[in-house]
Amino acid sequence: MPAIALDAPSRLAGVDLARGLAVLGMLTAHLIDLPDLVWGDPSTWLALADGRSSIVFATLAGVSIGLMTGGAVRPGAGGLVTAGKRIAVRAVILLLLGVMLIATGVPVYVILPAYALLFVLALPLLALRARTLWVIAGVTALAMPWLQPVLDAPDMWQTVAGNDLALLIGWHYPFTVWFTFLVAGLAAARSDLRRTRTQVALALGGAAAALAAYGADAVGTDPGGYLGEVWTAQPHSSGLLEVIGSGGWALLTIGLCLLVCRTAVRWVVLPLRAVGSMPLTVYVGQIVVWAIVAAVVLGDTGDLDGFRALELLGPFLLTTLVACTAWALLLGRGPLERGIAALTSRIH
């Protein structure tokens, strides 16, 4: 029945909770001008949503792919082919949705094109075991931030064509670096997320990585130049310390959410879980609503300062929580999630 679908045995409540936090964190980062994060100043902690929410979201893309393809049990040859086809179709749908959202003119960097590319890049990884995936994630985390400034350097990115290409491939979330988060999420899923041991390891390992990277960033000085572009934890910098720190933050978030949902708290956070059960619907919906409101009230969907001045974060968050909870309890799966599942289930 739809009323119990949110707590069905096939779902991991902690994963839904982490997704819900990530989606609402991204919404928060879109709708208000976040302060610079100062760890010793609690009034700035809302800035944790900046950058980290989207990295949690990307890591959960890997988790989702892992869960769709058997979780801790890797798919056999036949299942691998079917899973690959279904993931490829999902990637195409995500790209098309992303292009449609970009066309609204809403001034946010739409993550769906980057998601689509990450889904395609996941295809060769589906048969790999957890240990191999963790090694790949570690190697790319340490290596790719050194390459990213070189990839960002060409003047081509400053041209109209370069800007269009950047939007089309989600270059604000460069797949060259964000591949790390995808692989880490897939590795987590292959490590069996239902085991307490895995959940604790994610929380502790993620916390250690985040503490080390953010600590190094806090006590260090900006060396400037190329090294400064690499040795930084600034949000959306693709720097080494951001990849390690925010990647660790993502694993910590997932681990803690899984542990919390082993307790009765899972019912207290049910509205957040409801949001996390339909992340694509929420993500697409909030940008579409943004475009409509901005067009009607401001006459310009691209006026970021004007839209933020409307102070709609509270109404957006409340409406999202209430609508998703009602939908999940009464109808089950989100509308976009239901439609994509119906389409891909026909692929064999």
The domain segmentation of the chain, as residue ranges, is: 2-344
What confidence category does residue 292 fall into, taking pLDDT thresholds of 50, 70 and 90? very high
Whole-model pTM: value is 0.93
Mean pLDDT within 271-298: 96
Question: CA dist 151 to 136, 154, 235, Å?
Answer: 21, 7, 18
Q: Which two tokens stand for residue 283?
A: 């993500």
Residue 3, pLDDT above cutoff 50: no
What confidence category does residue 219 fall into, taking pLDDT thresholds of 50, 70 and 90? confident
Residue 46, pLDDT above cutoff 90: no
The 8-class DSSP code of residue 348 comes to: -
Mean pLDDT within 28-36: 87
pLDDT for 80-111, tens place per residue?
899 999 999 999 999 999 999 999 999 999 99
Mean pLDDT within 248-260: 97
Q: Which two tokens stand for residue 201?
A: 């390891």
Share of the chain above pLDDT 70, in %: 99
The answer to whether the beta carbons of residues 321 and 274 sit under 8 Å apart is: yes
Residue 268's contacts (CB-CB under 8 Å, 6 or more residues apart) are: none
Residue 222, pLDDT above cutoff 80: no
Predicted local distance difference test score (pLDDT) of residue 4: 47
